[in-house]
Amino acid sequence: MSRNLTADLAADLRTRIVDGAIQPGEKLPSENSLIGEFGVSRTVVRSALTRLQAEGLVETERGRGSFALTPPAEGPQAGPGARPVVSMEDRLHMLEFRMGVEAEAAALAARNHTERQLRAVNAALEEFAASADHPAHAMKSDFEFHRAIAAASGNPFYSDCLAALGQTMIAMPRTRLMTGAEHYARDHFDQVVHEHRSISAAIGDRDETSAAAAMRSHLANSRRRFKASARASS
């Protein structure tokens, strides 16, 4: 019976995370809240959270609670070829793929953007820069920044590609949720803001070569940061 209760609770929380009711970076309901809501024991709650941790959907830290991570992409919205993005290796491959696609999109954006499209890029950049203390909002505005650049390329296939990848292409580094990692995480966040500004500036200057190089450098750095955060949380 307890196995069924555990599975039911895990399934409910999994659905909330995957559907976006609980956004990446947001704190899950407390153990006491889940006990009251589902009428289960503390053991069932902890077993369900352990199951979600094993699936890479939740990060739990003693004294702070459990936080949602970036859910894997599944089904028809999983991206090119409907390939799911589940493991660390999948996410590293995703970043490699993005380097090729988005570097060229940035170059085309530098050549082809309209003033309205450039304003959209800069607006998403400023939204991201203002979201340091709100991981879920930061993830959304990060995606909007990259999507605005794809739109500014003037080639609708770039926009379609990023729309297919969806917000799950932006990985949530687990180190951002760890106690004692605030300065470490903030340094990384500030560096990403700097990289985004470099991309935006090159696009605004209509410098195709610099825009492509800035985007490639940013995604290569993102790949390095993701690997470092995975090692730090293991």
pLDDT per residue as tens digits for the range 198-207: 999 999 999 9
In this prediction, residue 184 has a pLDDT band, given cuts at 50, 70 and 90, of: very low
Higher per-residue pLDDT: 183 or 25: 25
* Averaged pLDDT, 138-162: 93
d(CA 11, CA 52): 9
Q: Which value, in Å, is the radius of gyration of the alpha carbons in the chain?
A: 19
Q: Closest Cα partner for 173 from 25, 19, 13, 23?
A: 25
What would the pLDDT profile of 153-174 be if each residue is shown by its tens digit?
999 999 999 988 877 787 655 5
Amino acid letter, residue 18 = V
Domains and CATH numbers, the chain: 2-68 (1.10.10.10), 75-233 (1.20.120.530)
Mean pLDDT for the chain? 83
Query: So what's the pLDDT on residue 178?
Result: 46
Query: So what's the pLDDT on residue 158?
Result: 96
Per-residue pLDDT for 42 more than 80?
A: yes
Query: So what's the pLDDT on residue 17?
Result: 81
Could you tell me if 48 and 2 are in contact, meaning their C-beta atoms sit under 8 angstroms apart? no
Query: So what's the pLDDT on residue 230?
Result: 62
d(CA 224, CA 234): 16
